[in-house]
Chain A
Amino acid sequence: MPTSAVFTGLDWHPVHDARELVAYPFMQHALAAGTIVAVTAGVVGWFMVLRRQSFAGHTLSLTAFTGASAAGLAGVPVIAGYYLACGAGAVALAAASGSRRSLSRESAATGSVQALALALGFLFISLYHGLLSDLDSLLFGTFLGVTRDQVLVLLLVAAPTLALVAVAARPLLYASVDPDVAGAAGIRVRLLGLGFLLVLGISVAETAQITGALLVFALLVTPAAAAHRITARPVAGVAVSVALALAVTWTGLALAYFSVYPVGFWITSVAFAVYVVARAAT
């Protein structure tokens, strides 16, 4: 397919195109929301990759779908459904996987929680008899309908979450790198583990509002994975992870704005390209 058919909105003049990108309120909101989401996902994702909890992160991202569909059925705001379901999912995961001693036991527990969450989500969708397009945007996201209030809520939730991670960063790092030694040194490893899952749940609930439940994972795992390949130093790693997540989100949103293809495709593809480059370069 020729480029001009894919990028129908672009007139190939950098200044003019950039100005058009921020001309409309809906696009300003999308970019603001994308920025908040990318910073949160970059920081939390870095710890998630360090703790090798990608599977848990993915499971929580699918719980977001359950929450949204349950909220739709109950007639409460979808945002409440996102946060409640992801919080409940985090607690369920922490309870089901126990002390993380056995890898195979944890993996079966996570898988079962995920299957149940999805099964319930599908049940709610079927009972709701909603439109198929609703299901698509729940799963794959939309950036067209972001309101000013939504951006404010995102900011209000993201700021304390990030502050919490900043306060707990040192013991969390210790507990993630060597849980046994950290436990012997008096750090409450299990409590930190539960706390981190809750933070992960909140980040997922935030990100899902923009990327949809199925694609949250791209923003959480891919920039963080690239950052871990680029540097092993914690502070630099988190910074790189956030920078990559921001670059991926902005590029993805811009490409989606000017092209005929969905934002989920662009964000995941740009993220994957970044990871491939990081892997090849290191």
Chain B
Amino acid sequence: MLAQEFMRHALVTGSAVGIACGLVGWFVVLRAQVFAGDALSHVAFTGALAAAALGVDLRAGLFGATILGGVAIGGLGERARADDTVIGTLFAWTLGLGVLFLALFTTNGSATNGAAGVRVLFGSIFGLSTADVRTSVVLAAVAVAILAAIARPLLYASLDAGVAAAQGVPVRSLGLVFLALVGLVAAEATQAVGALLLLGLLAAPAGAAHRLTARPWAGLCLSGGFALASVWVGLTLAYVFPMVPPSTVIVSTAVAIYAAAMSLPSLGRLTRVNP
């Protein structure tokens, strides 16, 4: 399996995406912002199609749109935590724009380009070039580094925004930076598992980790580990059964881990620490 170049590329990129999604996802679930992640995944779709319709680099559209989208979602809400109605309204329209770009793109471009929409929606992890792999690893490292830099104040602000603000933690700008970070990770994951499925890597491993432990660092490690395991198991199964699309297996594995964690008795009560 490892002799195949496309498989090595998929494993390296998948691991980078998995770790970034798992770590950022832990905070997304803690802050109850999975819906914002969902919205950003759809913004990624529109951004990529806009870039395709306008003839600029796909990746520029992808990252530009999601990072801007993250800041917009944060800016609209109180304390950079937008309520779900505002998010829903905004991204319903974003999707509509995506449809327009898809129509423009498929009428202007050649017929073979019709597959681009599907690629953006569902990913193409087995079709990555060496340059793609390098970019994804660098971006994942950047995302993890930013997260590590803001992790402590972000944790404080997420658990008790009022007290954190009184102590001088910049709660609002932290929220904005965090949503921009979610945007970055969303764009990164779109290239691997597609815009529609990245929620599986963002929410499911983190949800399982939150269920199993209330300790922040243990939770982060578990979440990253679960996401990584989902990617590896998913890619292996997709290699063995070529009928099944890789993104489906990756996400199904992540959800299976989540379901298993939910059926276990909570360890949180045993290991809960009082902050």
Binding site for B on A (CB under 8 A): 49, 52, 54-55, 57-58, 62, 96, 103-112, 114-116, 118-120, 122-123, 126-127, 132-133, 135-136, 139-140, 214-215, 217-218, 221-222, 225, 228, 261-262, 264-269, 271-272, 275
CB of B218 closer than 8 Å to a CB of A: no
> Knowing A112-B207, A115-B204, A221-B85 touch, does A107 contact B100 (C-beta < 8 A)?
no
Among candidates B30, B204, B243, residue contacting A112 with C-beta atoms closer than 8 Å: B204
> Knowing A55-B84, A265-B100 touch, does A221 contact B92 (C-beta < 8 A)?
yes
Pairwise interchain contact B83-A122, C-beta atoms closer than 8 A: no
CB of B103 closer than 8 Å to a CB of A: yes
Pairwise interchain contact A112-B203, C-beta atoms closer than 8 A: yes
Find the B residue at minimum CB distance from A139: B121
In the complex the two chains form, what is the Cα distance from A111 to B41 in whole Å? 12
7 sample A-B contacts, Cβ–Cβ < 8 Å, listed by A number = A108-B34, A118-B197, A119-B252, A217-B92, A218-B95, A272-B90, A272-B96
CB of B29 closer than 8 Å to a CB of A: yes
Find the A residue at minimum CB distance from B123: A122
CB of B70 closer than 8 Å to a CB of A: no
CB of B224 closer than 8 Å to a CB of A: no
In the complex the two chains form, what is the Cα distance from A126 to B238 in whole Å? 13
In the complex the two chains form, what is the Cα distance from A228 to B85 in whole Å? 10
Q: Would you call the interface of chain B mostly helix, strand, loop, or mixed?
A: helix
Pairwise interchain contact B93-A261, C-beta atoms closer than 8 A: no
In the complex the two chains form, what is the Cα distance from A104 to B35 in whole Å? 10
Pairwise interchain contact A122-B37, C-beta atoms closer than 8 A: no
Pairwise interchain contact A218-B93, C-beta atoms closer than 8 A: yes
Stretch with Cβ within 8 A of A (4 or more), from B111-119, B145-153, B165-173, B175-183 = B111-119
In the complex the two chains form, what is the Cα distance from A268 to B88 in whole Å? 11
Binding site for A on B (CB under 8 A): 29-35, 37-38, 42, 83-90, 92-93, 95-97, 99-100, 102-103, 114-115, 117-118, 121-122, 194, 196-197, 199-204, 206-207, 210-211, 243-245, 247-248, 251-252, 254-255, 258-259, 262
In the complex the two chains form, what is the Cα distance from A199 to B35 in whole Å? 21
Contacts of A136 in B (CB 8 A): 102, 117
In the complex the two chains form, what is the Cα distance from A55 to B83 in whole Å? 11
Contacts of A133 in B (CB 8 A): 114
Q: Would you call the interface of chain A mostly helix, strand, loop, or mixed?
A: helix
Pairwise interchain contact B100-A261, C-beta atoms closer than 8 A: yes
Nearest CB of chain B from residue A25's CB, rounded to whole Å: 25
Contacts of B258 in A (CB 8 A): 108, 112
> Which of B93, B96, B117 has the most chain A CB within a 10 Å cutoff?
B96
Pairwise interchain contact A115-B245, C-beta atoms closer than 8 A: no
Pairwise interchain contact A126-B251, C-beta atoms closer than 8 A: no
Known: A116-B252, A122-B122, A272-B93; 15 extra A-B contacts, CB below 8 A, are A104-B30, A107-B29, A107-B32, A108-B203, A111-B37, A115-B254, A118-B251, A126-B248, A214-B99, A217-B88, A218-B93, A221-B89, A225-B88, A265-B96, A268-B97
> Knowing A114-B38, A116-B255, A122-B196 touch, does A271 contact B93 (C-beta < 8 A)?
yes
Find the A residue at minimum CB distance from B96: A268
Pairwise interchain contact B196-A268, C-beta atoms closer than 8 A: no
Contacts of A269 in B (CB 8 A): 93, 96-97
In the complex the two chains form, what is the Cα distance from A107 to B95 in whole Å? 21
Pairwise interchain contact B85-A115, C-beta atoms closer than 8 A: no
Contacts of B259 in A (CB 8 A): 112
Give 10 nearest A-B pairs by CB, closest first. A268-B96, A111-B203, A115-B200, A108-B207, A272-B93, A218-B92, A54-B88, A119-B251, A107-B34, A111-B34
